[in-house]
């Protein structure tokens, strides 16, 4: 009888469907105005914020001795730099779209978190695990998450949202709004009233702009 029971269980195992992996998130593309309307609204709260709660820069994706910051510099270079021992970067050039300037010295570049770490904290990241905050701070899964830009412009931006700061180059506006909104949607972050009001006021200047994002795992 035991042999018959074992055979029956084996048959059931063969017939049972294999466990299916969760489907990967599909990219979503929306007109900018519709994407803004998708942002969940909530008041911001910076209680408990500390930049060190977002571990960065980590070892990067390639684990080749270049941290995330340097991997972004290498991947975004207009003219490829030379990468030496211990990932020392020399030469190369970069286009900083915030101010529409070409930079040829890595010392003049910052890697900007499109949605600053403090703003992310205010908008929902305060409730994340340490691992998710690290993933956010080193996100190479979307090109707009981390951007190489002129350091002084990034420092002027600080932790401000579009209600408080916009890139100085007029030609950068629509791309910036798209990437800001896309990053918030990717990470399911909220926006406060002043932020959404400003975004809605500005979308008319970007009638043809779309937002493409993929929700982060």
Instruction: Summarize pLDDT for 19-75 with one digit per residue, the tens.
Output: 454 566 789 999 999 999 999 999 999 999 999 999 999 999 987 899 999 999 999
Tell me which H or E stretch contains 155. Answer: helix 151-157
Q: 129 falls in which pLDDT band (50, 70, 90)? A: very high
Q: What is the DSSP string of 37-72?
A: HHSPB-----TT--GGGS--S-STTT-SS--HHHHH
In the chain, % of residues over pLDDT 70: 89
Exposure letters 88-122 (e unless 16+ CB within 10 A, then b): ebeebebebbbbeeebeebeebbbbbbbbbbbbbb
Give the pLDDT confidence of 139-190 residue by residue, as tens digits: 999 999 999 999 999 999 999 999 999 999 999 999 999 999 999 999 999 9
Distance CA 176, CA 69 (A): 20
């Amino acid at each position: 009888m035991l042999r018959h029971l074992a055979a029956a269980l084996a048959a059931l195992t063969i017939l049972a469907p294999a466990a299916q992996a969760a489907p990967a998130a599909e990219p979503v593309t929306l007109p900018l105005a519709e994407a803004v309307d998708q942002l969940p609204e909530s008041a911001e709260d910076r209680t408990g914020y500390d930049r060190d709660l977002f571990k960065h820069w980590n070892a990067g994706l390639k684990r080749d001795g270049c941290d995330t910051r340097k991997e972004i510099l290498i991947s975004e270079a207009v003219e490829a730099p030379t990468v030496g021992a211990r990932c020392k970067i020399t030469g190369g050039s970069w286009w900083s779209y915030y101010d529409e300037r070409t930079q040829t010295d890595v010392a003049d570049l910052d890697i900007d978190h499109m949605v600053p770490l403090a703003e992310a904290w205010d908008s929902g990241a305060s409730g994340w695990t340490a691992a998710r905050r690290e993933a956010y701070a080193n996100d190479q899964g979307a090109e707009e998450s981390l951007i190489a830009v002129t350091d002084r412009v990034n420092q002027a931006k600080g932790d401000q949202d579009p209600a408080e700061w916009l890139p100085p180059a007029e030609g950068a506006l629509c791309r910036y709004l798209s990437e800001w909104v896309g990053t918030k949607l990717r990470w399911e972050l909220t926006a406060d009233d002043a932020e959404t009001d400003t975004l809605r006021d500005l979308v008319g200047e970007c009638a043809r702009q779309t937002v493409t994002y993929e929700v982060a795992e």
